[in-house]
């Protein structure tokens, strides 16, 4: 790619969401509009634990796993919840509004 | 077994899933359309840990009684009249004894009101503390990821401990001729998969279908948790069918659902094994239907089940207020810090060590520490002052003090000297009651997966 200008993930993603995966994990899904974008992200390893850690201001150890799911052309990222669901200090019991940092991702 | 030539092929087994969580409702038109397909099973999952630890700890349902009764009435009436088994899992939301009793009470009420007579199967999910302690001592308990090791203290402190049962207790109750089964905490797909697996259908397909049907029409497009869906299990595949003309299943919608609320979409662990979707395919077969193949079940040895517990950690009070002063907004962090210091100074001799949390909406109220944007961009802030004390009185008095100090705090540069907070309500403070946290979220090895307490009741 000669064009060095970065592209927003919003140009290629159809769904970006977050949700609890049990009370101790937060899981983030990115589903792509087209298969080629999914392939691009997969091949170029655009999503890495380091990048997620940077976006969320957490350590890499708090990124449990990143899974590529072919049938949905989706990437799933699972994080440790800083505070388990409903424990004192929690801000989002269902974990449904923790996806926003992903929307700032460029590549 | 599969290669036996003389084996009779299994006929399609139709499962009508009514709603994502019992009490979330479903249109009667969809339900009737589902019944017209002559289902072999009507089932719904009634629970989740998603609404947080309060419900398991307090023994209360997160669903509304009137709504649950409405859903159950339609399901039980149709099932009993047509001789179709009706199965409900995770009764009352969290599926411990008080939740199950709450749901059973509704079932008996419906039977009386509708003059329905049937054999009711009951499966209890409560696990005795002694059993958990013994398993802990035998090193048969492992934490789920990011959960700390279980301690005897956590076991003793838990109000309710439940285990997610697999299909075995359901099978036991079906063998005894149950027409309606109400179970405590259950693995979500179990209510859909138990009967077909018992009849000989492939566990991988049955569990995967159950995993999709437990959310009813959420896996269709447009998705809805308050609409029915039909699953047709066959020998080598299953078919998903929407029951409302406004929705359909697509390979993408069905596959996308497989991602929902889980950390790895290829390998879904459950009681006694794992659903393996690595070779799974989703195919559009027209008319809004999707065929799914290749889902496998890999049994695990030893058999493990997930156990859940919640413990009381105190009492909560909250106050809601707004801030519009731009000078105050720029200094909000230091103001809140100073307010807490002042509160602690005043209380230092009275033993109130309650906790204070400021949820600052417009700054990082939603994401807390994870919020990447540090600069406040909003002209106003919403502040929820939260206190947690050992007693309600401790939480209340800590809140009253924190609220009044913040209201009149003379921060540096203040020119608005009449009050720092806009309260939308009088009274400004609300006693929220008991606060719980998840104390157990672990896997426990068990010898006999059918060893849940079951009962039969003739209604």
Report CB contact under 8 Å: A24, B266. Answer: no
- Chain B interface, mutation test: which of A13, A21, A23, most B Cβ atoms within 10 Å? A23
C-alpha span between B342 and B353 (Å, rounded): 14
Nearest to A76 among B147, B265, B370 (CB): B265
Within 8 A of A19 by CB-CB distance, chain B residues are: 260-261
Give how far B126 is from chain A: nearest CA, Å: 19
Q: What pLDDT is stored for residue B349 in this prediction? A: 86
C-alpha span between B147 and A25 (Å, rounded): 10
Q: pLDDT confidence of B2, banded at 50, 70, 90?
A: very low
Q: pLDDT confidence of B39, banded at 50, 70, 90?
A: very high
| Residue B248 in tokens | 């359909």
What are B17's strand-pairing partners? B43, B229
A2 within 8 A of A8, measured Cβ to Cβ:
no
Instruction: Name the least confident of A89-98, B50-59, B264-273, B336-345.
Output: B264-273
| Averaged pLDDT of chain B | 95
Report CB contact under 8 Å: A56, B370. Answer: yes
How much is the pTM?
0.93
Question: Under 8 Å CB-to-CB from B199, ≥6 apart: which residues?
Answer: B10, B13
The complex scores an ipTM of 0.91
- Given CB atoms, is A103 within the 8 Å cutoff of chain B? no
Within 8 A of A80 by CB-CB distance, chain B residues are: 145-146
Nearest residue of A to residue B436 by CA position? A87
If 0-12 CB within 10 Å is exposed, 13-18 middle and 19+ buried, where does residue A89 land? Answer: middle
Give how far A2 is from chain B: nearest CA, Å: 30
Mean of pLDDT values over B265-278: 92
Q: pLDDT confidence of B257, banded at 50, 70, 90?
A: confident
Report CB contact under 8 Å: A71, B369. Answer: no
Q: Tell me: pLDDT of B351 over 90.
A: no
CATH level 3 topology of A12-84+93-104: Alpha-Beta Plaits (3.30.70)
Report CB contact under 8 Å: A22, B388. Answer: no
- Chain B interface, mutation test: which of A13, A20, A22, A33, most B Cβ atoms within 10 Å? A22
Nearest residue of A to residue B356 by CA position? A89
- Chain A interface, mutation test: which of B54, B221, B252, B256, most A Cβ atoms within 10 Å? B256
Q: pLDDT confidence of A4, banded at 50, 70, 90?
A: low
Closest by alpha carbon to B214, among B371, B43, B381?
Answer: B43
Report CB contact under 8 Å: A85, B282. Answer: no
- List the strands of the sheet with A25-32, edge to edge: A13-20, A25-32, A74-80, A63-69
- What is the pairing mode between strands B273-276 and B296-299? antiparallel
B330 within 8 A of B348, measured Cβ to Cβ:
no
Q: pLDDT confidence of A1, banded at 50, 70, 90?
A: very low
Within 8 A of B365 by CB-CB distance, chain A residues are: 91
B-contacting residues in A 68-97 (Cβ below 8 Å): 69, 71-72, 74, 76, 78, 80-94, 97
Nearest to B435 among A22, A78, A88 (CB): A88
Report CB contact under 8 Å: B251, A57. Answer: no
Q: Tell me: pLDDT of A71 over 50.
A: yes
Residue B221: other Cβ atoms inside 10 A: 19
Report CB contact under 8 Å: A101, B369. Answer: no
Mean of pLDDT values over B411-439: 97
Report CB contact under 8 Å: A86, B357. Answer: no
């Amino acid at each position: 790619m000669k064009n060095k200008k970065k592209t927003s993930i919003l140009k290629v993603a159809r769904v970006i969401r977050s949700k609890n995966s049990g009370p101790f994990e937060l899981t983030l899904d990115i589903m792509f509009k087209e298969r080629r974008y999914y392939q691009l992200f997969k091949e170029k390893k655009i999503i890495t634990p380091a990048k997620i850690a940077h976006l969320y201001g957490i350590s890499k150890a708090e990124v449990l796993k990143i899974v590529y799911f072919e049938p949905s052309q989706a990437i799933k990222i699972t994080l440790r919840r800083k505070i388990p669901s409903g424990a004192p200090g929690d801000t989002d019991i269902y974990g449904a509004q923790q996806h926003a940092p992903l929307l700032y991702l460029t590549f | 077994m599969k290669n036996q030539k003389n084996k009779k092929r299994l006929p399609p087994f139709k499962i009508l899933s009514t709603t994502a969580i019992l009490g979330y409702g479903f249109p009667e038109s969809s339900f009737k359309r589902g019944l017209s397909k002559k289902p072999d099973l009507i089932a719904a999952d009634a629970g989740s840990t998603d609404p947080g630890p309060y419900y398991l700890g307090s023994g209360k349902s997160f669903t509304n009684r009137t709504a649950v009764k409405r859903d159950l009435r339609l399901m039980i009436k149709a099932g009993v009249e047509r001789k179709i088994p009706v199965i409900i899992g995770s009764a009352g939301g969290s599926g411990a004894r008080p939740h199950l009793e709450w749901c059973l009470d509704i079932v008996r009420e419906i039977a009386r009101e509708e003059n329905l007579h049937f054999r009711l199967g009951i499966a209890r999910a409560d696990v005795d503390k002694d059993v958990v302690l013994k398993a802990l001592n035998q090193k048969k308990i492992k934490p789920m990821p990011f959960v700390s090791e279980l301690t005897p203290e956590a076991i003793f402190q838990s109000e309710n401990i439940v285990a997610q049962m697999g299909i075995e207790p359901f099978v036991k109750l079906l063998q005894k001729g149950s027409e309606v089964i109400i179970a405590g905490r259950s693995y979500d797909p179990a209510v859909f998969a138990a009967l077909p697996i018992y009849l000989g259908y492939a566990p991988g397909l049955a569990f995967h279908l159950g995993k999709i049907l437990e959310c009813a029409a959420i896996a269709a497009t447009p998705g809805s948790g308050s609409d029915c869906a039909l699953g047709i299990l066959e020998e080598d595949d299953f078919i998903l069918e929407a029951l409302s003309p406004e929705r359909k299943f697509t390979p993408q919608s069905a596959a996308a659902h497989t991602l929902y609320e889980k950390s790895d979409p290829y390998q879904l662990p459950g009681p006694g094994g794992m659903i393996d979707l690595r070779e799974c395919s989703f195919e559009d077969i027209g008319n809004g239907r999707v065929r799914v193949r290749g889902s496998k079940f890999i049994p695990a040895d030893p058999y493990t089940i997930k156990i859940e517990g919640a413990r009381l950690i105190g009492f909560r009070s909250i106050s809601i207020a707004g801030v519009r002063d731009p000078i105050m907004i720029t200094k909000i962090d230091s103001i809140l810090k100073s307010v807490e210091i002042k509160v602690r100074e005043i209380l230092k001799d009275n033993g109130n060590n309650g906790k204070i949390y400021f949820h600052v909406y417009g700054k990082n109220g939603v994401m807390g520490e994870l919020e990447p944007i540090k600069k406040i961009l909003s002209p106003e802030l919403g502040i929820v002052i939260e206190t947690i004390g050992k007693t309600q009185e401790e939480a209340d008095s800590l809140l009253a003090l924190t609220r009044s100090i913040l209201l009149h705090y003379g921060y540096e540069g203040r020119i608005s000297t009449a009050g720092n907070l806009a309260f939308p309500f009088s009274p400004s403070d609300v006693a929220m009651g008991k606060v719980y946290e998840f104390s157990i979220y672990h896997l426990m090895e068990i010898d006999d997966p059918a060893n849940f307490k079951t009962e039969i009741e003739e209604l």
